[in-house]
Structure 1
Amino acid sequence: MTALNQEFQLASDTYRTTASIGACLFNGSQIGAELLLKQTELAMYWAKRAGTNLVQIFDPAMEVAIIQRTALKNDLHEAVSGRKFELYYQAQIEGTQLVGAEALLRWSHPSKGWISPGEFIPLAEETGLIVPLGLWVLESACTQLAAWSRIPELQQLTIAVNVSVQQFNQPDFVKQVGDVLRKTGVNPKCLKLELTESLLASDVDAIINKMNTLRAEGIRFSLDDFGTGYSSLSYLKRLPINQLKIDQAFVRDLLVNAEDSIIAKAIIELSQNMGFEVIAEGVETSAHQAFLAEMGCNIYQGYLFGRPLPIHEFEQSPAFLSLRVQ
């Protein structure tokens, strides 16, 4: 590793390289050469996944993890093609009134039970399955919006849909969204697309053009997890967004952590000064809500108002039912 890290010359240029190294311990001829090389290569890829310039010794647990990951990847392919997912909805509250919900993807595996989104979403992104999966989420959410639009007291409810970087960067993404809106007959103003700051690592001008086209149709944009990724005020002033979302990492401890409360307050003031709505996620207690309200944030999402629920349970929640009896 030390030798490979040395500078070297190619013509008049100086270069420096890094290496990912896999190694395997073995005892004489107890393991065949082919298996030995396979295990060493597996260790090398494990080193690459962990970062750069690392050495990794083979451990049998790696092989088990790879086998399990490969099996889950195959199951994910089948689940996407068979649309074996479900959307859960988590309430978004303004003041004390339900104004919408965030659509959250859930997967109940036939033998493993519920698979965490933190496990299958990265796998979907790695395999490219996030693109058809994201389109299914968009279609399902808009179908639900269409159902609500037929009930007068529910017509103003919005649904926020998370859009991955890969999905947004599809050349025909704008057309896909337009096709879904026309197919379902949904009022575009009721659809909110949530983008993460990681999107800003790609072609910002192309992103802004797409956003402007969709916003001209009435679609709203929320910048999710603000302050945790590629935060840049120079980008923020150019992006045609409607809302900033305070990440739950800052909300969770804002009552006991001075730094978190300062960051939350700064995001709220920034939003107000730039004419954005601001919503806080991860609001779990009345104390959280009161503290945020005092700072000027009056739109909330979190366990205080309800956990993510399947649609039939969401529509029986107190916040939802209160709209039906107004």
Structure 2
Amino acid sequence: MEEDPRSAMMIVEMLRAVWPRGLLITQAQHVPDAAQELVDHGATCVLLDLPRDRSTPLDALEQLSAAGPSTPIIVLSEYRDDDLGVEAVRLGAQDYLLAAEVTPATLGRAVSYAVERKRSEVELARQALHDPLTGLPNRALFLDRLSVALDRSRRTGAAVCLLFLDVDTFKEVNDTLGHAAGDLLLTVLADRFRGLLRPMDTAARFGGDEFTFLFEGLDSEREAMLIAERISHSASLPLALGDDETSVAVSIGISMVTDPASSVEEVIRNADAAMYQAKELGGSRFELFDDRSRRRTATVTSLEGSLRAALDHGQLRVHYQPRVSINGDTGLVGFEALVRWQHPERGLISPSEFLPLAEETGLIVPIGEWVIEEALEQVRRWRQSRPGMTISVNVASRQLATPDLVANLERALHTAGADPGVLWLEVTEDTVQENPVVVASALAGLHGLGVNLALDDFGVGHTSLQSLRELPVNMIKIHQSFIAALDAEPDDSALVGALVELGHALGLTVIAEGVETDVQLAHLRELGCDGAQGFLFSQPVPEDGVHELLVSR
């Protein structure tokens, strides 16, 4: 953009000296004309001349950047002003050149560099806002577009509709065909979803096997349900995953925004609640957010608030279940710390009711840190009379993904004055399979501290022998379903025996979970199992019940 025709002609001549062919140059004398040209036709690069007499010389730069956010802009100035140059670059210019010093070579080089720099910037921005696996917008970009759509709805009254989709059978595909097949499944679904959208619609990978869809201007709930039906049908079509062919079912929640004051969080929560309602009704269907969904959302929201208050007001408790050695005389060797919620009105709330919510909301991280701190303080006291006592604590996937996990644990050990060897951290086999790279890295860091690591619920997942050898674990805990079968299905003892032998072959301690009968205990002893846990020895007990167990065992 150049107001002076003579100066514009000189710049054109310089550019043609560098690129004699294939160059299309458009000149605009005024900012509105230049901005409209960018909107209508775009440009490879913009050369913006700043006149000396303009009181706000960078206004034009801001307007052109807004009109062509992915177009590089080079500022040409008639006078040297380093502060102005710095400000121009801060506002988005790729370069700042003094017009009197420009030559064809320097201008050509500046344009080439500006185009490449801008291309890199745009690609980095795209990567930051798109899912690397599917190429769809990620959670951050989707939330931003939803926020813009809600703002537009408040001004114009246009309808906004959100669909929240979860793949019902994704875990089964991952477990049976492997994570590579699971990734391929997500990319195939993403491609199908793209093909169903209008240019103004948005489909995003919200996280894991969850997808979200944003639609504006729908005429009715019926139209939203027809779209959900098309998406569901598209997902259910057979798809090839390498040498295997499979099909999947999806559950979809629909939220039509009827209140212009609705927040982004509320709209997401409503669609999520409707999706869970679809799952509760058997899955492979879609549900519209209604009074039933609203009641569920209210319950979950209330429970989340209460759980936050429970953490702040000391309503959480730690109960302890003993772990015993059985490869000789039965002897107490340690305890597993299990969190409980002592609600002021509802009494003791089952972990199955609040731990999934804690995991979903991220509250599992501070709760987990608190449990570890409590457990370390308790084991320090126990070891004064029973030096060999150890303590086990479960670690959730959200905790393992926390960057400061190792640092926080090291601080907790130091505060409690506890040796790292007294602590066992337990990770389920499912957790390892959900995100093997992140989990392996976290376990390596924890192992470096000197704490012991156990693979919990062993046998129900699909951990390969190679993965088991590579994980820095010291113990496997056989899932209670195998132990329960020892009473009714004696043949299952061979399977349990194989698990015990596998653990020992890898140099691991083997513990049986859920031991409830003397028959089970006898089988486990014959099979050479090292230790056991279960109601046969004791239910989880509060802190004041541990003393009796320490004395009696």
1:79 corresponds in structure 2 to 310
Q: Conserved in 1, the CA contact under 8 Å of 2:493 and 2:523?
A: no
> Among residues 343, 353, 356, which one is paired with 1:119 in the alignment?
353
2:298 corresponds in structure 1 to 67
Instruction: Tell me the distance in 2 between the aligned counterparts of 1:43 and 1:209.
Output: 36
- How big is the shift at 1:134? 0.2
2:36 corresponds in structure 1 to none
2:135 corresponds in structure 1 to none
Say if 2:410 is the partner of 1:175.
no
Gaps of 5+ in 1: 9-15, 25-32
Q: Conserved in 2, the CA contact under 8 Å of 1:165 and 1:198?
A: no
Secondary structure class of the residue paired with 1:278:
strand
> Among residues 350, 373, 398, which one is paired with 1:166 in the alignment?
398
Amino-acid identity (%): 38
TM-score scaled by length of structure 2:
0.50
2:477 corresponds in structure 1 to 245
2:421 corresponds in structure 1 to 189
Secondary structure class of the residue paired with 2:485:
coil
Letter in 2 for 1:47: A
> Among residues 77, 88, 95, which one is paired with 2:319 in the alignment?
88
Letter in 2 for 1:284: E
Q: Conserved in 1, the CA contact under 8 Å of 2:482 and 2:496?
A: yes
Q: 1:19 to 1:287 in 2, by over 3 A?
A: closer
Secondary structure class of the residue paired with 2:486:
coil
Deviates more, 1:173-182 or 1:81-90: 81-90
- How big is the shift at 1:304? 0.8
CA RMSD of aligned residues (A): 3.0
Instruction: Tell me the distance in 1 between the aligned counterparts of 2:280 and 2:467.
Output: 30
TM-score scaled by length of structure 1:
0.82
Q: 1:21 to 1:288 in 2, by over 3 A?
A: closer
Q: 1:23 to 1:221 in 2, by over 3 A?
A: closer
Q: Conserved in 2, the CA contact under 8 Å of 1:6 and 1:17?
A: no
Rg larger for: 2
> Among residues 209, 220, 229, which one is paired with 2:452 in the alignment?
220
Q: Deviations over 1:74-116 (max 9, x none)?
A: 1001112223211101011102110001001111111111111
> Among residues 284, 294, 313, which one is paired with 2:526 in the alignment?
294
Instruction: Tell me the distance in 2 between the aligned counterparts of 1:107 and 1:208.
Output: 31
Q: Which protein, 1 or 2, shows the higher relative CO under an 8 Å CA cutoff with sep ≥ 6?
A: 1
Q: Deviations over 1:200-231 (max 9, x none)?
A: 23553453343334324331111000122342
Instruction: Tell me the distance in 1 between the aligned counterparts of 2:527 and 2:439.
Output: 31
Q: Conserved in 2, the CA contact under 8 Å of 1:149 and 1:186?
A: no
> Among residues 495, 498, 501, which one is paired with 1:263 in the alignment?
495
2:69 corresponds in structure 1 to none
Instruction: Tell me the distance in 1 between the aligned counterparts of 2:296 and 2:401.
Output: 31
Letter in 2 for 1:121: L
* Runs of 4+ residues deviating >6 angstroms: 16-19, 48-52
Instruction: Tell me the distance in 2 between the aligned counterparts of 1:295 and 1:179.
Output: 40
Gaps of 5+ in 2: 1-227, 238-246, 260-266
Deviates more, 1:262-271 or 1:44-53: 44-53
Q: Conserved in 1, the CA contact under 8 Å of 2:399 and 2:405?
A: yes
Letter in 1 for 2:431: L
Residues 106-145 of structure 1: matches in 2 within 5 Å? 106-145=340-379
Deviates more, 1:213-222 or 1:97-106: 213-222
Say if 2:546 is the partner of 1:321.
no
Secondary structure class of the residue paired with 1:316:
helix
Residues 226-241 of structure 1: matches in 2 within 5 Å? 226-241=458-473
Instruction: Tell me the distance in 2 between the aligned counterparts of 1:265 and 1:143.
Output: 36
Instruction: Tell me the distance in 1 between the aligned counterparts of 2:436 and 2:229.
Output: 39
Q: Conserved in 2, the CA contact under 8 Å of 1:197 and 1:226?
A: yes
Q: Conserved in 2, the CA contact under 8 Å of 1:196 and 1:223?
A: yes
Q: 1:301 to 1:19 in 2, by over 3 A?
A: closer
- How big is the shift at 1:2? 6.2
Instruction: Tell me the distance in 2 between the aligned counterparts of 1:242 and 1:66.
Output: 42
Letter in 1 for 2:340: R
